[in-house]
Structure 1
Amino acid sequence: MSWSDRRYDTGGSSLGASDRPLGTWWLIGITVGLQVLIWVGGGGVAGETTRRIYDALALSEAHPYQIWRNITYAFLHGGVSHIFWNMLLLYFTGAIVEPVFGSKRFVLLYLAFAFVGGLGFTFEHLIWPSPLGDALGVGASGAVMGVIVLLGSRFPMQRMLFMFVLPMRCWVFAAVLVGLDLLALSAYRGGDQVAHSVHLMGAFAGFFAGFLWPRLAVRWEAIADERQRKAQRRERERRREDAAEMDRILQKVHENGMDCLSAEERAFLLDQSERLKDNRRV
């Protein structure tokens, strides 16, 4: 199916959103729903119960080996504007990417981007520890950045309508966001309370999935095909050699009888007989 056959193509050169990005909607619904439940039941954004939930589920400088946090942190946010912008970006980009990969694979990629992004938090605080050593990290930004860069690296020259208004090529959109994170990370080194390292690690995961992995897969497939061709050539050569040896032995039997065969020649005939039986069974 060509680009123009799909709903996310508008005018042949621009990408628009599919009308059934179910995985994207589920991710947004679960993230927003859980966040509302936590804030309502936990006494608000800064409530005591909310803080305890975040202490248990957010990325934690003090608990870098509690690996489940690398997923759960992506469903927590630090405020209304934080979750609003993350989910809005997820909607605009996820609704484009998801039809290409399928809902199940898209959700798995999203969670993988979140996980890799969480590693960035750990690495950052190994390099630049916080004063008290108890920093927490929350937000879907790492996973969303992975989706954005996946879109930009897989379909770099396609145009998207950001916010339904601003047309831009996908690679430009991804490159601008990654560039801003690189500048902020080098300038603030975590001092601006934004986990730029999480964004960048998520972006790297998206680049790997969208650009590096397809090329590696093609290369590995080519290597596997070449190995298969070599194996087939070796098999054809073996069969030719076996056929020549069979002709020689049969000629020897014709001239001198079975008693003249050596033990190796008898074993060869037995082996060929067994192979012939196996081929007939197949």
Structure 2
Amino acid sequence: MENFAAYPATLTLIAVNVAASIFAWSNPQFLMGNLFYVAGIRQRREYHRFLTSGFLHGGVFHLLINMFVLFQFGRIIESVLGTPKFLIVYFAALLGGNVWAYLENFRNMEYRALGASGATSGVILSFCLFMPFATLILFIIPMPAVVFAIAFIGISIMLAQNENRVIGHEAHIGGAICGLLATIAVEPGALHIFSEQVARVLGGG
């Protein structure tokens, strides 16, 4: 109960993701009616898919990876920003990632996607803003969080150009950028915290 009181939003989001994903795995109609689907949005105006698709996952591994990231980083950002502001960042990243994916795939009526990776990408970038020199790992390579953020967005942009991709890198890009902007919007002091740490490291202080 103490953990829930400290991180209510993070733990509730994890619970909803797990419950919705497990339910969808045994209910194909529910899954198809709520995943991100360009034709459903364009032709039938099913705008709920921008939100609901962020709580569905394609399998156990997909779910575990996103929930692990949310658990690790969500608790930190919820502690730093407080629950209401954290939720704004999370949903801004989720919706921003899916809007970005929609714009990128507007002409591909059969494009489908699902998962919380757009939202978790935004949470990671928010973390990088507050702790730019914390060590994160990308492809088994440890690096400062600020380098991770730049590399993450750059690699996602490159991989999104691959027509045969099975991962929705577009949502990663949009989620990361919107999560970063939302953090600055709800906590303008984040930029000062970031620049102060950068100046301290570059100045050797």
Q: What TM-score do the two structures reach when normalised by structure 2?
A: 0.78
1:90 to 70, 80, 95: 70
Residue 144 (structure 2) aligned to one of 159, 169, 178: 169
Once residues 148 and 71 of structure 2 are traced to their aligned partners in structure 1, the CA distance between those partners, rounded to angstroms, is: 15
Q: Which runs of 5+ in 2 are unaligned?
A: 192-205
Residue 183 of structure 1 deviates from its aligned partner by 1.7
Query: Which residue of 2 is the match for residue 262 of structure 1?
Result: none
Equivalent pair of 1:117/1:198 in contact (CA under 8 Å): yes
Secondary structure of the structure 1 residue equivalent to 2:46: coil
Matched ranges for 1:78-117 at <5 A: 78-117=58-97
Picking from 148, 154, 157, the partner of 1:182 is 157
The amino acid that maps onto 2:35 is A
Per the alignment, do residues 171 and 147 of structure 1 end up closer, same or farther by CA in structure 2, a change over 3 Å counting? same
Question: Structure 1's 211 and 103: CA in aligned 2 closer, same or farther, altered over 3 A?
Answer: closer
Confirm whether residue 125 of structure 1 aligns to residue 125 of structure 2.
Answer: no
Is the 2:14–2:67 Cα contact (8 Å) retained in structure 1? yes
Alignment partner of 2:51 out of 38, 46, 71:
71
Identity of aligned residues (%): 28
Larger Rg: 1 or 2?
1
Determine the structure 1 residue equivalent to 2:13. 27
Q: 1:97 touches 1:151 (CA, 8 Å); kept in 2?
A: yes
* CA distance in structure 2 between the partners assigned to 1:109 and 1:208 by the alignment: 8
Deviations 1:99-127 (A, max 9, x none): 01112321232122111111022112125
Query: Per the alignment, do residues 193 and 203 of structure 1 end up closer, same or farther by CA in structure 2, a change over 3 Å counting?
Result: same
Q: Which one scores higher on RCO, CA 8 angstroms, separation ≥ 6? A: 2
Matched residue SS, 1:90: helix
Q: How far does residue 171 in structure 1 lie from its aligned partner after superposition?
A: 1.7
Question: 1:204: which partner in 2?
Answer: 177
Q: In structure 2, what residue type is equivalent to 1:126? A: F
TM value normalised by structure 1 = 0.58
Cα shift at 1:145: 0.4
Deviations 1:218-270 (A, max 9, x none): 9xxxxxxxxxxxxxxxxxxxxxxxxxxxxxxxxxxxxxxxxxxxxxxxxxxxx
Matched, 1:58 2:35: yes
Change beyond 3 A, Cα 1:112–1:212: closer
Counting matched residue pairs gives 183
- Conserved? CA contact 1:59–1:69, under 8 Å: yes
Q: 1:120 to 1:178 in 2, by over 3 A?
A: same
Residue 181 of structure 1 aligns with an amino acid whose one-letter code is: S
**Secondary structure of the corresponding residue to residue 126 of structure 1:** coil
Contact 1:89 1:144 in 2 (8 A): yes
Equivalent of 1:145 in 121, 138, 147: 121
Tell me, yes or no, if the aligned pair for 2:38 and 2:105 is still in contact at 8 Å. yes
User: CA–CA distance in 1 between the matches of 2:180 and 2:13?
Assistant: 21
- Once the 2 structures are TM-superposed, how far is the Cα of residue 211 of structure 1 from its aligned partner? 4.3
How far 1:30 sits from its partner (Å)? 1.3
TM-superposed deviation, 1:212:
6.6
Structure 1 vs Structure 2 CA RMSD: 2.9
Question: 2: CA distance between counterparts of 1:114 and 1:175?
Answer: 19
Unaligned runs of 5+ in 1: 1-18, 43-48, 219-282
CA displacement 1:195-225 (0-9 Å, x = unmatched): 111110001101212347755999xxxxxxx
Q: Which residue type is aligned with residue 72 of structure 1?
A: T
Q: Given that residues 24 and 94 in structure 1 are in contact (C-alpha distance below 8 angstroms), is that contact kept between their aligned partners in structure 2?
A: yes
Aligned CA distance change for structure 1 residues 135 and 85 (closer, same or farther; 3 Å): same
1:8 corresponding residue in structure 2: none
Inter-partner Cα distance in structure 2 for 1:97 and 1:211: 13
